[in-house]
Amino acid sequence: MYRIVSANFLAENIKKIEIEAPRIAKKRKAGQFVMVRVSENGERVPLTIAGSNPETGTITLIVQGMGKSTRELNSKNPGDFISDIVGPLGTPSHIEKFGTAVSIGGGVGTAIAYPTAVALKEAGNYVITINGARSKELVILEDEMKAVSDEAYITTDDGSYGFHGFVTQMLQQIIDSGKTVDFVLAIGPIPMMRAVAEVTRPYGIKTMVSLNPIMVDGTGMCGGCRVTIGNETKFACVDGPEFDAHQVDFKNLTDRNKLYIPEEKQSAEAFSHKCRIGIGG
């Protein structure tokens, strides 16, 4: 059992949770994730390690309530326990001094991009961050991002805050302004990552994306997380989750993530029902 030390909502449905996990706190690097099982009979779900404190032996997760598992996790409070957490998993982000690096986060992807943005800054890059959200209330980690950025932009789809439009339009503007962009990291919904890949492709800008296929073990044992990269099959949990955006078969990933839609719905409905009648967590 692993104890939750702190938990608070950053935006509607997005919660920041700090959990005791000393071994992971000591070892983790930017870009790595954990598999979490909230309760007995729970699924194993992958979540990026947004930060850690080796002294207190805690790690931080930023979780968007999507279906049963993430909503159950987001219902937890300080002092509560979760059944299992294992990590750090995945290959750490490849960090070097590229020059000018743009980190793009969409929605909860901002949280996943944050640790890598920090590492890029520490490696001496000129860091530009673009963080997109649907509207003002959903913007997360604004101050944290500003603190690691040489330039920080926020975009909202509805124009309620920052730049009115998509992250890709902002990226295009930066490129058009004549700045040399040496590296782009894009993490967010699949359509966003795909669109970013199309923006940078003509310029040959090295672009990495963090893929979110469905996982089971997270250690390379099942092959359920396989993704197609430049016509080759890779296991995202050991070979990734970050891959060269220009090589990724996004269509295959989108399709494969639809595998359990009816079941996910069934789980989520049962979970809301349990919450409403007050027996659930």
Ligand X SMILES: Cc1cc2nc3c(=O)[nH]c(=O)nc-3n(C[C@H](O)[C@H](O)[C@H](O)COP(=O)(O)OP(=O)(O)OC[C@H]3O[C@@H](n4cnc5c(N)ncnc54)[C@H](O)[C@@H]3O)c2cc1C
Interaction of residue 256 with another protein, rule CB under 8 A: yes
Please, what is the Cα angle at 16 between 10 and 18, to 5 degrees? 155
Question: Measuring CA to CA, which residue among 223, 227, 218 is closest to residue 250?
Answer: 227
Interaction of residue 233 with ligand FES, rule CB under 6 A: no
State which residue, 24 or 130, has the beta carbon closest to another protein: 24
Task: Choose which of 195, 237, 245, 248 interacts with ligand FES (CB under 6 A).
Answer: 237
For 259, the 3-state DSSP assignment is: coil
Task: Choose which of 5, 66, 190, 238 interacts with ligand X (CB under 6 A).
Answer: 66
- As a whole number of angstroms, the distance between CA 114 and CA 123 comes to 14
Interaction of residue 224 with another protein, rule CB under 8 A: yes
Please, what is the Cα angle at 136 between 50 and 36, to 5 degrees? 25
Beta-bridge partner residues of 53: 58
- Of the listed pieces 55-63, 134-142, 150-158, 220-228, which binds ligand FES according to CB under 6 A? 220-228
Interaction of residue 167 with ligand X, rule CB under 6 A: no
Interaction of residue 78 with another protein, rule CB under 8 A: no
Place of tokens 């970013």: 196
Task: Choose which of 75, 169, 247, 257 interacts with ligand X (CB under 6 A).
Answer: 257
- Of the listed pieces 105-113, 156-164, 187-195, 214-222, which binds ligand FES according to CB under 6 A? 214-222
At its nearest, how many Å lie between ligand X and the CB of residue 45? 4
- As a whole number of angstroms, the distance between CA 25 and CA 98 comes to 27
- As a whole number of angstroms, the distance between CA 65 and CA 15 comes to 8
